[in-house]
Amino acid sequence: MTDNQWIQLLQILDGKQPETPPIGFIIDSPWLPGWAGISTLDYYTSDNHWFNANMKAIQTFPDVMFLPGFWSEYGMCTEPSAFGSRLVWSNENLPHAEKILSSIKDVTKLPRPNVESDGLLPFVINRMKVMEAKMHNSDHQIRFAIARGPLNIASFLMGSSEFLMALMMEPDATHELLSRITDFTSEWLLYQKTCFPSIDGILLLDDIVGFVGDNECREFVVPYIKKLYSVFDASVRFFHNDAHGLVCAPYLGDMGVNLFNFSFKHSIPEIKKLAGDNITLLGNIPPRDVLAVGTAQNVADAVEKDWTSIKDKKRIIWSCGGGMPQGVSTQNLNAFINTINRIYEKIID
């Protein structure tokens, strides 16, 4: 992100309305390689392909705030790889991390990763170090320390169904697993900040939070997420959960979140009412069924519906309800941007 974009983001979080409605999207490997015309494997294995794909997005849509910006990632595999998961790669699709725990009772056998040397973590850091000068020359800085959330990582280490079953049946062992993962993730976030002092934000992504109930959210989500957002004093504390978001919305403030990306199945007013006025919302048209496979008119209609759904437009960044999915076209993104601009121009006229 540029200095101007970062300043604007901080102002939005502070409740100030920018001159024009802010537009932002989470972009990473599900969308960028295909849109940029390269294979997923090329995107992961070539620093130049990775950098050029990100730059192409920035130059094609200069008025869009792309978050977190130059994200060095390997799909869902980064954190599980540090624990020893076997990674399965594809030329065109996202990689997969195989589980390593056959039972929650094996939690004591889980290794404690070294964040400087284990799995794909050194590759994440080295890519940013190698390309940092190019980012600076393009007026961009590394702004976020990024990690999957503890429930998300746990689901990859032992399987989603198995983890959720353990959460209900073996709460003590589940707490042990989440504690170990959270300790590792804290070190990982802090190490990113140490490597890149320009970092002033934390992005956590955890869709598994959307599969637990209220009691389980308070017990197994809030304390661990809160610890991660307090690992250093970050100005932006960004949380992504595009599964069921109503369960966590009331606790976002308690967890330390000030920017939330959530499912399109929940309206902006609905989340705003639960989360409170101090949380900035990033959303919220359907990412796949409208932004990716809909027509430009479908996109425009969805944007207008979101816009008219809420009167108080402070602390809103217009986006889709989740990360940018595969298959989103330049035409549809332009339809999104042009619709926001057209609505705004009509207002000021």
Residue-wise pLDDT tens digits, 157-171: 999 999 999 999 999
Residue-wise pLDDT tens digits, 88-119: 999 988 999 999 999 999 999 999 999 999 99
Domain residue ranges of the chain, discontinuous segments joined by +: 3-348
**Mean pLDDT, rounded, for 282-301:** 97
The residue to which tokens 């008025």 are assigned: 63
Percentage of residues in the chain with pLDDT exceeding 70? 99
Which residues is 29 bridged to in the sheet? Answer: none
The fold of the 3-348 domain, in CATH, is: TIM Barrel (3.20.20)
**Res 205: pLDDT:** 98
Whether 195 contacts 125, CB under 8 Å: yes
**Res 258: pLDDT:** 98
Whether 331 contacts 296, CB under 8 Å: yes
Residue 141 predicted with pLDDT over 60: yes
Residue 348 predicted with pLDDT over 90: no
**Mean pLDDT, rounded, for 252-278:** 97
Helices (H), the chain: 3-13, 32-36, 40-45, 47-60, 78-83, 121-137, 150-158, 160-169, 171-195, 214-216, 222-229, 252-255, 268-275, 296-308, 330-348
**Res 298: pLDDT:** 98
Residue-wise pLDDT tens digits, 170-228: 999 999 999 999 999 999 999 999 999 999 999 999 999 999 999 999 999 999 999 99
The token pair that represents 207 in the structure block: 């869709």
Residue-wise pLDDT tens digits, 306-323: 999 999 999 999 999 999
Return the CA Rg of the chain: 19
**Res 345: pLDDT:** 80
The token pair that represents 200 in the structure block: 């002033």
- b/e per residue, 81-108, with b = 16+ CB within 10 A? bbbebebeeeeeebbbbebbbeebeebe
